[in-house]
Amino acid sequence: MKNSSPTFDNLSTTSSSEHAGVHIITMHKPPKNRLNSAYAQTIIRALRHIERDLVKPSQPGHTFGGVCPFALSCDYRVMNSKCGFLSMPPVNLGLHFEGIGALPRLKLGPRIARKMLLEAHKWTGKEAFADGIVDAIAEPGQMLEVACKLAAEQALRASMGVYGLLRSELWGEALEKFKRISYTHRKKEGTEPKAKI
């Protein structure tokens, strides 16, 4: 693996030397990689850097709170098989925003989404795999390799224009809900944004 430039606060990007078209964002923001508006903007800048500078045209931790929808927004997820939990506990914290249930409902189905949103269930890696929240579990030292292999299997398809269109067909409803409350995507007219994401 080799480091890519530019640098980002509390985050690094690398490109896999073994899997063409696979790029990795590593979050290292203490404590526990908590998301806020500034960090979300840093992640967006890192994603834009990967899209603009690293993806060549020729190429056809715990997961709690706000990081959980962030993980669900990814096409595939790999979780530690030995330790750590995945949980989205807004019901315990009295938190809500428009569209909070869209990704869990669309990606996980009503039963698992209910368990996530209304019960604030904490999944181990094995439980998350059994409930279809993650696509694979791996030993701590093998997680990155498993994730890279999974990404490499999809890299060629993802480089085709139709991939994004099909993703929109699957998850576009959630994207539209997030855009309506997003500071980044909000149009100037109308109501004020409710969240800076």
- Write down the pTM of the prediction: 0.68
pLDDT of residue 195: 53
The pLDDT of residue 127 = 97
Buried b (16+ CB within 10 A) or exposed e, 131-166: bebbbbbbeeeebbebbbbbbeeebeebeeeeeeee
What SS3 state is found at 136? strand
pLDDT attached to residue 34: 84
Domains of the chain with bracketed CATH: 59-181 (3.90.226.10)
Q: How far apart are CA 197 and CA 186, in angstroms?
A: 10
Please give the Cα distance from 87 to 120 (Å, whole number).
Answer: 6
Residues in the chain: 197
pLDDT value at position 113?
A: 95
Q: Which residues of the chain have pLDDT under 70?
A: 1-4, 55-60, 182-197
- At 163 the pLDDT is 87
d(CA 181, CA 186): 7
Instruction: List pLDDT tens digits, range 113-142.
Output: 999 999 999 999 999 999 999 999 999 889
